[in-house]
Structure 1
Amino acid sequence: MPTSKSPLRIAILDDYTSAAQTAADWHALQDVQLSQITPSMMETEAERALALAPYDVLVAMRERTPFPKSLIDQLPNLKLLVTTGMRNFSIDMEAARAKGIDVCGTQMTPYAAFEHSWALLMALAKQIPAGHHAMVSGGWQAHTGVGLCGKTLGILGLGKIGAKMARAAQAFDMKVIAWSPNLTAQKAQEHGATFVDQETLFKTSDFLTIHMVLSSSTRGLVNEKTLSLMKPTAYLVNTSRGPIIDEKSLINCLENGAISGAALDVYDAEPLPADHPLRKLSNVTLTGHTGYVVQELFQLAYGQAVENIGAWQNGGPLRLLN
């Protein structure tokens, strides 16, 4: 809890759309000085340390800015770190606790990532970006989409989001199959999916959508070997974490037409470099890690961030993660 009578210095990080300050009532906090730190100021850890060192409180957007021990040790004034979401694998929780830094989280909307995943799948199937480009360029019909009815949706990770994808697919009369290391046939059946082995998932899917947490076991799970199993007519959707896919293998696969296309919201490097090879491919639909970026989420998450800071100021931190 704060001990100084000087204004509490708060920095909001990684708010690419500048939505945080209007999404919540920051004026409800007493005696604070609010700032916004742009991502361009923090491309290296040295730059992050320099930019963040003056602040007492940092409000981070998910895992966009990593907080390893090496950075935490360079932030002498930091007393409270608020992250949107109730888990953040990019924060060294133990290092923060050792320095007496409280780390608090917020709730997130449970539907935004699912909606975005399905929107990307539809954009691939119906060639929406290409159709829009043709129209605004003065053209007319330029591409042929595919129907979903009777196609097979493969779900890699049948958790909360994967289960929503399964239900949506059923509404489109799709067949649904799923696999993950811990998935059982019974659990898959509960969500209207058929449990298959990993090889069958990649071989059979017309659309393959990824919904797994990034870990040592899932990093590079989609790689040259598994991609080579996919149909040349298949499409891949990833809104989970970029490194689950071996990026070089995917780019090679797309360049050679080994699959029909991919829709991606997450990448190895974020923000995606302007000259990245993925930006040059005609068979991809790309969004900038916006799967959870909706007005309702900002209102919820930043609203609770304000609550967290106010409660911490009064000696009772809410939603403590460490």
Structure 2
Amino acid sequence: MTEHSLLRIAVLDDWQSVASDVVDWTVLDSIADVSFLHEFPADTATMVSRLESFEIICVMRERTQFNDALLSQLPRLKLLVTGGMRNAAIDLPAAARLGIQVCGTESYKNAAPEVTWALIMGITRNLVGEANSLRDGGWQIGLGSDLYGKTLGILGLGSIGKWVAKYAQAFGMRVIAWSENLTTERAAEVGVTYVTKRELFEQSDVLSVHLVLSDRSRGIVDAQALGWMKPTAYLINTARGPIIDEAALISLMQRGAIAGAALDVYEPEPLPADHPFRTLNNVLATPHIGYVTENNYQMFFSQMIEDIQAWHAGKPIRVFG
């Protein structure tokens, strides 16, 4: 294979400029030329101009939208590889219609539960505010909230929610949960009490969101549900931004109607520079770092390479659909 016949691969969404060093991409040198693109997502025309020369594109979950309008203008694209085995930003029917293979990777399952618990501790003990006070020459500035004996509510008791439940039980918390598919029996298997949606919001001292984003879950944490929360409660979201009605939450936070919110996900991302979540004193906000860990990135990128090699050999693996 000559240099001119090498496949062209684009690795997108490398916002931290780390993808080239996490794994050894030179194993693809015999079949491909790999480019690392660090720009944030842009309008469709700009994305087309960036990507129209590539046969293979590697992406990170939900950072760049690959809708019909974009995919249909990338005639050279044959393989789209994503971190994880779920990516709501990819129009799978459009990809199938256009003959674009979509493959994924496994994920390191503990990354999201761990950052969830970090946010719970951070917001309930005001760790950022206290640390900043110390850095600025001050000392203690407030009272933290205790977790022992309090109630953690979990919206979506899937693989991540179950880990968060275990952490809460280790802290001596009562754990309750609700989702549309959850049953009393399934909740009891992990020592969690099943409640109704309203009871979840009314009883939780800390409420953590762990639903998969879908048409059914989009906006499920709406103004009514937020209005059921205690004024002393905290809301945590490490799932996906559109699950919460952001306008309703911003109004709630501006009025101080709950004690605080800790958020790692937003709509849109990256979060606009003038967004209220960047400045509200009762919001602890992080830039979608839930899956941004060494273990996860090593798994994502090493398996992306495996996906490319398998596809090139005519035996694709971890295929979507």
- What is the TM-score when the length of structure 1 is the normalising length? 0.96
CA drift of 1:4 comes to 9.9
CA drift of 1:23 comes to 1.2
Deviation digits for residues 112-132 of structure 1 (CA, Å, limit 9, x no counterpart): 011111110010111111111
Partner of 2:19: 20
Contact 1:264 1:285 in 2 (8 A): yes
Contact 1:189 1:195 in 2 (8 A): yes
Partner of 1:39: 39
**SS of structure 2 residue aligned to 1:39:** coil
Partner of 2:215: 216
CA drift of 1:3 comes to 12
Q: Which one-letter code corresponds to 2:43 in the other structure?
A: T
2:223 equivalent to 1:192:
no
Counting only pairs closer than 5 Å after superposition, residues 225-264 of structure 1 correspond to structure 2 as 225-264=224-263
Deviation digits for residues 235-267 of structure 1 (CA, Å, limit 9, x no counterpart): 000001111111011011111110000000011
Contact 1:208 1:235 in 2 (8 A): yes
**1:313–1:5 distance in 2 versus 1, CA, 3 Å:** farther
Q: Which one-letter code corresponds to 1:272 in the other structure?
A: L
Partner of 2:62: 63
2:256 equivalent to 1:276:
no
2:287 equivalent to 1:288:
yes
Q: Distance in 2 between matches of 1:320 and 1:77?
A: 19
Sequence identity of aligned pairs in percent?
49
**SS of structure 2 residue aligned to 1:292:** coil
**SS of structure 1 residue aligned to 2:289:** coil
Deviation digits for residues 106-160 of structure 1 (CA, Å, limit 9, x no counterpart): 1110110111111100101111111111111111111211111100001111111
Partner of 2:125: 126
Q: Which one-letter code corresponds to 2:260 in the other structure?
A: G
Q: Distance in 1 between matches of 2:288 and 2:142?
A: 26
CA drift of 1:171 comes to 0.6
2:308 equivalent to 1:309:
yes
Contact 1:24 1:306 in 2 (8 A): no
Contact 1:25 1:306 in 2 (8 A): no
Partner of 1:9: 8
Partner of 1:98: 97
Partner of 1:86: 85
Contact 2:88 2:213 in 1 (8 A): no
Q: Distance in 2 between matches of 1:314 and 1:157?
A: 39
> CA RMSD for the aligned pairs?
1.5
**SS of structure 2 residue aligned to 1:258:** coil
Deviation digits for residues 38-65 of structure 1 (CA, Å, limit 9, x no counterpart): 233x311111111111111100001211
2:204 equivalent to 1:205:
yes
Moved more, 197-206 or 4-13: 4-13
**SS of structure 1 residue aligned to 2:306:** helix
Moved more, 94-103 or 6-15: 94-103
Partner of 2:158: 159
Deviation digits for residues 265-294 of structure 1 (CA, Å, limit 9, x no counterpart): 011110000111111100111111110100
Q: Distance in 1 between matches of 2:202 and 2:310?
A: 52
Q: Distance in 2 between matches of 1:9 and 1:304?
A: 18
Contact 1:85 1:105 in 2 (8 A): yes
Q: Distance in 2 between matches of 1:93 and 1:199?
A: 34
Q: Which one-letter code corresponds to 1:311 in the other structure?
A: A
**SS of structure 1 residue aligned to 2:212:** coil
Number of equivalences = 320
Unaligned runs of 5+ in 2: none
Q: Which one-letter code corresponds to 1:75 in the other structure?
A: L
Contact 1:19 1:298 in 2 (8 A): no
